[in-house]
Amino acid sequence: MEDCIIIGAGPAGLTAAIYLARFHLSIRLFDCGSSRAALIPRTHNHAGYPEGITGPDLLARMLAQAELYGAVREQHEVTRIEPLAEEFAVHADGRTFPARAVLLATGVVNHRPEGLDDALHGEALQRGLLRYCPICDGYEVTDKRVGVIGTGDHGMREALFLRGYTADVTLIAPGAAHELDEHCVAALDDAGIAHIDGPCGRYAIEGNRIAVDTASGTMAFDSIYPALGSRIRSDLAVAAGARASDDGCLEVDDHQRTSIPGLFAAGDVVKGLDQISHAMGEAGVAATTIRNMLAEQRPLRR
């Protein structure tokens, strides 16, 4: 019987593992190897790293710190969380693991542009030609030529956000035509943001730029931001009975407790600012609440 099982080994899951291990609790960390943070070429807004740090390096450092205090990571994919009377049964790869508490830190998956194969996607991402988070790296496109793949209110808002970094922003419809109401068109025009119909495709890297075909011909950019939304990986908790918003984000209280007693959630799987620092803060709150909850059930003594 583990005190807590953590599902997900991104910044939220690893932060919780560090806290819980230092609380002298027995924990097991499940990692299916698909943390979105592992795709970050280099983050420059994570405090403490003036020269930046790559996503894989950050995750490796956090895992080493968690393991230093006794956290155990297992590379299994969890298929089901089963709430029982006073505990949980976590099912993974044909085995069942009992736990007094469970923390879900499974994050989200970005929707990629259609027609962008894995090899080109990977190279463009590593070179900063393709970016997914303007909050994280908008600074890096200051005064550069930027394309945004998206439409509607979401696409408009991302294009307007990037307009704070550069005057050269173009919003490109992913489909045949934009879905922009009068308000969106007026806001884009007022900001000097071009809006080009699609469909877009035939991506190619041309020197230090990434090119894409549009209804107005081939256009090349220093960076392209897909504003296509994401899939919230909350299925395990929802299947167990936890409440979620319409877009799939798990509903939690101020202490990261879901609607199921003993089941917690932190990071991007919860509605909030999708940032490493935010995920780590939520994980610290969740881990401390888990520790106190378990102590109330059974005194923790050395």
Distance between CA atoms of 132 and 142, rounded to whole angstroms? 16
pLDDT reported for residue 292: 97
Mean pLDDT over residues 9-18, rounded?
97
Q: pLDDT above 90 covers what percent of the chain?
A: 92
112-226 maps to which CATH number?
3.50.50.60
Of the candidates 47, 177, 186, 200, the one whose C-alpha atom is nearest the C-alpha of residue 114 is: 200
pLDDT reported for residue 300: 86
Mean pLDDT over residues 105-118, rounded?
93
Does the structure show a pLDDT above 90 at 133? yes
pLDDT, one tens digit per residue, over 54-88 is 999 999 999 999 999 999 999 999 999 999 998 99
pLDDT, one tens digit per residue, over 164-181 is 999 999 999 999 889 999
Tell me the one-letter amino acid at 130: L
Asked if residues 222 and 145 have their Cβ atoms less than 8 Å apart, the reply is: yes
Which residues, listed in sequence order, are joined to residue 30 by a DSSP beta bridge? 7, 74
Q: What is the pTM of this model?
A: 0.94
pLDDT reported for residue 32: 87
Mean pLDDT over residues 90-102, rounded?
95
Q: Let me know if the fold of 2-109+230-297 is the same as that of 112-226.
A: yes
CATH-assigned architecture of domain 2-109+230-297 = 3-Layer(bba) Sandwich (3.50)
Distance between CA atoms of 87 and 99, rounded to whole angstroms? 6
Asked if residues 75 and 31 have their Cβ atoms less than 8 Å apart, the reply is: yes
The upper half-sphere exposure of residue 61, i.e. CA atoms within 13 Å in the direction of its Cβ, equals: 8
Asked if residues 129 and 223 have their Cβ atoms less than 8 Å apart, the reply is: yes
**What percent of the chain is helix, strand and coil (3-state, nearest 5)?**
30, 25, 40
Mean pLDDT over residues 134-154, rounded?
97
Distance between CA atoms of 20 and 16, rounded to whole angstroms? 6
pLDDT reported for residue 96: 96
Does the structure show a pLDDT above 90 at 288? yes
pLDDT, one tens digit per residue, over 222-273 is 999 999 999 999 999 999 999 999 999 999 999 999 999 999 999 999 998 8
Mean pLDDT over residues 140-146, rounded?
98
Question: Where do the structural domains in the chain lie, given as residue ranges?
Answer: 2-109+230-297, 112-226
